[in-house]
């Protein structure tokens, strides 16, 4: 699990700005700015391999927390 605590920023997968994510990549990012009561996520690009890859947003501190916006694939 990697943790982002800044109040704003950009998050990338392992491919960074110019590449694709790695095969079998399993990534968990905890977004936890200090003193925040809520966060806003804005996606400028989102691409996954249908049937294999997905993004799930949870409302809590780990993947056991309730799913907030569902699962995108």
Give 33-43 pLDDT, tens digit per residue: 889 888 888 88
Q: Looking at residue 13, what is its pLDDT? A: 82
- With H, G, I as helix, E, B as strand and everything else as coil, classify residue 67: strand
Q: Return the H-helix or E-strand segment holding 31.
A: strand 29-31
Q: Looking at residue 37, what is its pLDDT? A: 87
Q: Hey, what are 45's tokens? A: 């690009």
Q: What is the average per-residue pLDDT within 46-55?
A: 82
Q: Looking at residue 72, what is its pLDDT? A: 67
Residue 29 has pLDDT above 80, yes or no: yes
| pTM greater than 0.85 (yes/no) | no
Position with higher pLDDT, 46 vs 59: 59
């Amino acid at each position: 699990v990697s943790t982002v605590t800044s109040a704003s920023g950009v998050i990338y997968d392992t491919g960074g700005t110019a590449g694709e994510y790695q095969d079998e990549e399993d990534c968990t990012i905890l977004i936890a700015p200090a003193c925040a009561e809520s966060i806003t996520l804005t996606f400028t690009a989102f691409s996954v391999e249908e049937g294999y890859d997905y993004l799930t947003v949870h409302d809590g501190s780990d993947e056991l927390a309730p799913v907030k916006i569902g699962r995108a694939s």
